[in-house]
């Protein structure tokens, strides 16, 4: 109940003398002519007032020295006990004013003071659509001049801690103006998240709408059905369901992924759905005055949460003490690191893109040559910080855990070539080279150029690109390092452009190109492994880096085609001589007397017991490449570009015009005067018929989910046999983002198997290779 002499908009509750919690603030009784206030405990002098997000104190009032009187919070406002009679009320006030010399009062932490102030703010919002009406009233009383007049000499003061951590500006108590009928106008809370994530190529934004906040508080809602249309309002940023009669919240509320403020205070909730942990954009989450005894551990993924309002709940004392002493972040961290690990997701399976009959034919053909490759951004140790990945358990973010999971993922698929991005020097030398060499791999690695300017201890943390290949199948002919900024500096048409200096030159991204030769067939393969700039505000730089890469690949391929083929017998199989050919029968079997003679015992031996004859190795001349475009080429890496982008269009179509919007009106020599083009004929392996191009998610974080890693191949001389399938969509819908205990990087590995087409100029020979004696 409310005190009859107080405003109906401000609730005050009775103190409970049986509550020994030392963290509660004293209730100060209002006297005639005196303002009502709630304040922090001593040593602050006088009564503390919560005024527009700041704490103020009455001057001249002596500090309190008695143990604080306590609030008694229950789950519903209707459960408040009746106020005492005036005599008892005055006695309590006199005790509070005089204090007791022998008593001491523990000092509440700033975090808990902030919690209690927000709690009182929420309790003052029990009337129907309180925030919406307050905001509407505030917006009507603000006079707006036709010509704004400002003081040019006025220096804007920096925000106070209260203003920057929940302080309310004009409008509703959370700073969101309304347009009436309980709908609050679009305005995000002014408080930034504590754990901000590094920018992604495209951040997930809420759908466009004229309003993004909804106030349904104080209207006695008793049930929210799971089919409610409310859960279709995915554009909502603020949602108020406070002071209703809800006994449960449906898990469908987790569909409102863009919520930053959710108020469920003063209901009858005794449990919460774990799916609320999917609302990773939440910054303010009020649960005041319910019947909650625990918090689901899945709430540990609410890494941006600044305030979890728990006051007024019979909460587990251990959880409550964490908030009282160290604030919301301490509780969220505890829940995150102690959350039970869910069951493993279904294994990713290879998707065959050719019919089963064709698979059988190819498996039996000894002349078919295949090549499998994996592309994987492993998230280097230096970048995997709690500030960026605050939703990941600390033990799952530690490199000591992640490196083993990464190695398992690589070895599980047993590919011929592995292209890794964000590999740092220390891990390449100390871990991956040693472990992959045990499985027959050799590697090539270059770090970003910044390592040249660093001392030894720091340079070992610089990341770059690493390419590993199976040494029993491929021979490394050459390796090339491409540093995009250095390549841009060498271009004559780039040297006089300011955009090159201001935008391209400062990015030290690179590519590693390996020229490989198959030890068994003599066929050649070009593999480019790259990591392109991430920031979507530099789409022009991404396009320039992709153009520089493909230009250089074309030049390298042209020179590689001029190299002579391997000599006869390079694979241990000698070509047949003319004598061997003449002594061979029509079926390629030696007809000489020695070879044709058979012992009597062999003749007497039943045919069923004789093992089938081992076919003689077939000599095939190595292919001859008349042009660089005839050499099979793979360009893979983290391109940080979605399918509808200039980078994708350039690589897939072979050209983009000079007026392409991704150039962003910047000037880059011939690129922006003539356009860019290439003749490699590249296609994405995951865009092949039957591959999950649009459905594939290669990067998954709370603010971004998309396909930005690619394996490009030259379609003229390679075809896709199969690709590694996507992650189970049902699992992704329950995961805030990567890395997590199951996936050790924010990217996932993608892999493909290709069939190499031999050049038409060199049809394989099927003559026997063993000459007669």
Q: Which of 424, 590, 638, 709 is catalytic?
A: 638
At 587, phi and psi to the nearest 5?
Answer: -95, 5
CA-CA distance, 106 to 489, in Å (whole number)? 65
**DSSP codes, 273-341:** -GGGGG-TT-SEEE--SS------GGGGG-TT-SEEE-TTS---HHHHHHHHHH-HHHHHHHHHHTSPP
Which ranges in 265-316 belong to alpha helices (H)? none
**CB distance 223 to 246 below 8 Å:** yes
Tokens representing residue 480 in the block: 């090339």
DSSP 751: E
Tokens representing residue 286 in the block: 């009020």
Alpha-carbon Rg for the chain, nearest whole angstrom, is: 35
Q: What is the residue whose two structure tokens read 């707006």?
A: 144
At 122, phi and psi to the nearest 5?
Answer: -70, -40
At 86, phi and psi to the nearest 5?
Answer: -65, -30
Of 53, 180, 75, which is closest to residue 121 (Cα–Cα)? 53
CA-CA distance, 173 to 50, in Å (whole number)? 12
DSSP 534: -
Partners of 517 in beta bridges: 475, 524
SS3 of 178, please? strand
Partners of 447 in beta bridges: 464
CA-CA distance, 467 to 418, in Å (whole number)? 6
CA-CA distance, 503 to 482, in Å (whole number)? 18
**CB distance 496 to 477 below 8 Å:** no
Look at phi and psi of residue 265 and say left if phi exceeds 0, alpha if psi is from -120 to 50, else beta: beta
Letter string b/e over residues 690-704, b meaning 16 or more CB atoms within 10 A of that residue's CB = ebebeebbbbbbbbb
Active site residue 591: no
Residues involved in catalysis: 638
């Amino acid at each position: 109940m409310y005190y009859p002499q107080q405003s109906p908009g401000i609730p005050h509750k009775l103190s409970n003398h049986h509550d020994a919690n030392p963290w509660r603030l004293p209730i100060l009784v209002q006297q005639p002519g005196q303002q009502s206030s709630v304040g922090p405990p001593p040593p602050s002098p006088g009564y503390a007032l919560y005024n527009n997000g700041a704490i103020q104190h009455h001057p001249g009032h002596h500090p309190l020295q008695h143990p604080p009187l306590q609030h008694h919070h229950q789950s519903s406002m209707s459960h408040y006990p009746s106020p005492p009679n005036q005599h008892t009320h005055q006695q309590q006030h006199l005790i509070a004013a005089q204090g007791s010399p022998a008593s001491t009062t523990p000092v509440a932490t700033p975090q808990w003071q902030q919690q209690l102030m927000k709690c009182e703010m929420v309790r003052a919002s029990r009337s129907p659509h309180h925030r919406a009406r307050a905001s509407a009233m505030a917006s009507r009383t603000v006079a707006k001049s036709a010509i704004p007049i400002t003081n040019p000499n006025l220096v804007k003061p920096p925000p106070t801690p209260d203003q920057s951590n929940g302080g309310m500006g004009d409008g509703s108590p959370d700073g969101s103006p309304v347009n009436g009928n309980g709908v609050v106008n679009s305005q995000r809370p002014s408080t930034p998240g504590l754990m901000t994530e590094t920018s992604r190529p495209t951040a997930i934004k809420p759908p466009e709408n004229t309003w993004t906040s909804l106030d349904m508080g104080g209207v006695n809602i008793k049930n929210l059905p799971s089919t409610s249309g409310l859960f279709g309002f995915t554009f909502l940023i603020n949602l108020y369901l406070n002071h209703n009669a809800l006994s449960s919240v449906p898990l469908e509320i987790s569909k409102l992924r863009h919520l930053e403020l959710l108020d469920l205070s003063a209901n009858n909730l005794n449990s919460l759905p774990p799916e609320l942990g999917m609302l990773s954009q939440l910054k303010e989450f009020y649960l005041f005055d319910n019947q909650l005894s625990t918090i689901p551990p899945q709430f540990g993924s609410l890494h941006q949460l600044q305030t979890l309002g728990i006051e007024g709940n019979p909460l587990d004392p251990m959880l409550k003490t964490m908030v009282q002493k160290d604030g919301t972040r301490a509780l969220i961290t505890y829940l995150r690191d102690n959350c039970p690990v869910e069951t493993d997701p279904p294994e990713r399976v290879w998707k065959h893109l050719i019919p089963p009959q064709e698979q059988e034919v190819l498996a039996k053909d000894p002349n078919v040559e295949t090549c499998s490759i994996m592309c994987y951004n492993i998230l280097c140790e230096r970048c995997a910080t709690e500030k960026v990945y605050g939703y990941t358990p600390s033990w799952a973010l530690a490199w000591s855990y992640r490196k083993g999971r990464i190695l398992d993922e690589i070895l599980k698929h047993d590919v011929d070539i592995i292209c890794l991005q964000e590999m740092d020097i220390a891990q390449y030398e100390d871990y991956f080279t040693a472990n992959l060499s045990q499985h027959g791999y050799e590697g090539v690695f270059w770090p970003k150029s910044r390592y040249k300017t660093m001392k030894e201890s720091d340079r070992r943390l610089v990341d770059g690109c690493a390419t590993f290949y199976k040494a029993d199948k491929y021979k490394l002919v050459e390796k090339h390092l491409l540093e995009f900024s250095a390549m841009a500096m060498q271009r004559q048409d780039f040297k006089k452009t300011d955009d090159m200096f201001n935008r391209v030159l400062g990015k030290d991204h690179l590519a590693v190109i390996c020229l490989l030769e198959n030890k068994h067939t003599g066929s050649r393969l070009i593999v480019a492994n790259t990591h392109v700039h991430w920031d979507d505000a530099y789409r022009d730089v991404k396009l320039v880096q992709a153009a520089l890469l493909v230009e250089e690949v074309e030049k390298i391929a042209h020179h590689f085609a001029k190299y002579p083929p391997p000599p006869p017998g390079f694979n241990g199989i000698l070509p047949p001589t003319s004598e061997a050919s003449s002594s061979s029968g029509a079926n390629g079997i030696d007809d000489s007397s020695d070879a044709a003679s058979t012992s009597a015992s062999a003749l007497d031996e039943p045919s069923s017991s004789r093992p089938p004859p081992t076919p003689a190795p077939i000599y095939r001349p190595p292919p001859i490449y008349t042009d660089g475009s005839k050499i099979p080429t793979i360009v893979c890496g983290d391109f940080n570009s979605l399918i509808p982008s200039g980078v994708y269009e350039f690589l897939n179509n072979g050209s983009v015009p000079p007026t392409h919007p991704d150039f962003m009106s910047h000037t880059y020599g011939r690129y922006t005067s003539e356009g860019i083009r290439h003749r490699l004929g590249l296609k994405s392996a995951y865009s092949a018929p039957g591959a999950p191009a649009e459905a594939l998610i290669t990067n998954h974080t709370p603010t971004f989910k998309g396909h930005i890693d690619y394996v490009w191949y030259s379609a003229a001389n390679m075809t896709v046999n199969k690709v590694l399938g996507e992650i189970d969509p049902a699992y992704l819908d329950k995961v805030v983002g990567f890395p997590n205990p199951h996936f050790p990087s924010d990217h996932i590995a993608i892999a493909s198997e290709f069939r190499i087409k031999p050049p038409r100029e060199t049809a394989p020979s099927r003559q026997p290779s063993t000459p007669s004696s």
